[in-house]
């Protein structure tokens, strides 16, 4: 009487490695690893790079914005920002002109560092995408998006 009802598997799968979650995690880990190694040569961590990329695109984002954008907590993002500020790659006002949000901006050194690191990161993305047929890329993006929405919504 330990387990009378076997759990119905999400879909036909011989073992764990056939599960979407496993593949997703594995791909994500591989990407994280590759980015870690590449960014280390530029003196950046993955969260730091992610913040720089977001800030280059949307200057003035707040700490909370960056936390959401990089999928970590506000507290973690705060630590990252402190590191970037100490490195002179971003600026952050000590007081808020209005509200509590403190808008973060890239310094020219930050922009420069980002542009250098971006080369390395993009080449990784190119290598990663190289494995999948080009005509399936839109579907892949869409499916990843759908999965996220299905979980978050």
Least Å distance, CB 11 to DNA, is 26
The footprint of DNA on residues 50-89 (CB under 7 A) is 62-65, 71-76, 78-80, 83
- From the list DNA, its own copies, none, which binds 150 (C-beta under 5 to 8 Å, kind-based)? its own copies
Using CB under 7 A, pick the residue from 19, 31, 34, 45 that binds DNA. Answer: 45
Question: What are the distances in angstroms from CA 113 to CA 3, 7, 76, 88, 119?
Answer: 56, 50, 21, 10, 10
Question: If we measure between CA atoms, which residue out of 21, 73, 22, 26 comes closest to residue 47?
Answer: 73
The answer to whether residue 9 forms part of the interface with its own copies (CB under 8 A) is yes
Kindly state whether residue 129 participates in binding its own copies, applying the rule CB under 8 A: yes
The C-alpha atoms of residue 149 and residue 113 are separated, in whole angstroms, by: 33
C-alpha–C-alpha distance, residues 37 and 144, integer Å: 25
Residues between 97 and 126 with contacts to its own copies, criterion CB under 8 A: 108, 111-112, 115, 118-119, 121-122, 124-126
141 binds its own copies (CB under 8 A): yes
Q: Which two tokens stand for residue 122?
A: 């993009």
| 140 near its own copies, judged by CB under 8 A | yes
Distance CA 67, CA 61 (A): 10
Distances in Å between the Cα of 60 and the Cα atoms of 92, 93, 118 are 9, 11, 20
Positions touching its own copies (CB under 8 A) are 2-3, 7-11, 15-16, 18-21, 23-35, 53-54, 57, 71, 108, 111-112, 115, 118-119, 121-122, 124-133, 136-137, 139-141, 143-152
């Amino acid at each position: 009487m330990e387990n009378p009802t076997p759990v119905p598997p999400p879909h036909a799968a011989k073992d764990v490695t056939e599960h979407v979650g496993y593949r997703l995690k594995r791909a994500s880990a591989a990407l994280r690893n590759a980015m870690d190694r590449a960014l280390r040569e530029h003196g950046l961590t993955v969260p730091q790079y992610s913040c720089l990329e977001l800030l280059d695109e949307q200057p003035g984002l707040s700490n909370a914005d960056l936390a959401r954008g990089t999928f970590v907590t506000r507290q973690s993002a705060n630590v990252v920002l402190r590191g970037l500020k100490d490195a002179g790659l971003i600026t952050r006002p000590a007081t808020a002109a209005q509200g509590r949000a403190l808008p973060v901006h890239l310094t020219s050194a930050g922009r420069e560092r980002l542009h250098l690191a971006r080369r390395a990161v993009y080449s990784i993305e190119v290598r990663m995408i190289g494995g999948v047929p080009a005509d399936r890329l839109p579907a892949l993006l869409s499916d990843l998006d759908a999965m996220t929405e299905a979980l978050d919504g």
